[in-house]
Amino acid sequence: MYRPAAIKQLQVVGNSLNIPVFANENTKDVVLIAKQAMSQAISKLNDVVILDTAGRLHIDEELMQELKNVKTNLKPHEILLVVDSMTGQDAVNVAQSFNENLGIDGIILTKLDGDTRRRCCIIC
């Protein structure tokens, strides 16, 4: 499920922090969007690129396949899983599942917005 409001939210936060946010709302092809974001970042001589994937209420095959495709095509330096701390002990199971399916470099537990959506940030 794609949430256009999430893109707007990232743009507002990025703007308030003076951090550029790339978005292409004309396609749902996450690999294409990620490649375009990387191309733009390289052209602007950005040192770090964070690819923020869609948050999910549960782990599903569609999410994992999208993440695997991004990993294969962009070869990121680091993959961090961000999990809402309200997930509690289940965060261990979530991290294990993401690590088995994707290979993560770390996990960040944080209080995001009161629900238990899982995100995966890919750093290139």
Segment 50-54 mean pLDDT: 83
What's 56's DSSP letter? B
Count of structural domains within the chain: 1
Contact 80, 123 (CB under 8 A): yes
**122 in a structural domain:** yes
Q: Can you give the pLDDT at residue 71? A: 95
The boundaries of the domain holding residue 102 are 47-124
Q: Can you give the pLDDT at residue 4? A: 64
Question: Whole-structure pTM over 0.85, yes or no?
Answer: no
**63 in a structural domain:** yes
**98 in a structural domain:** yes
Contact 120, 102 (CB under 8 A): yes
- Domain containing residue 80: CATH number: 3.40.50.300
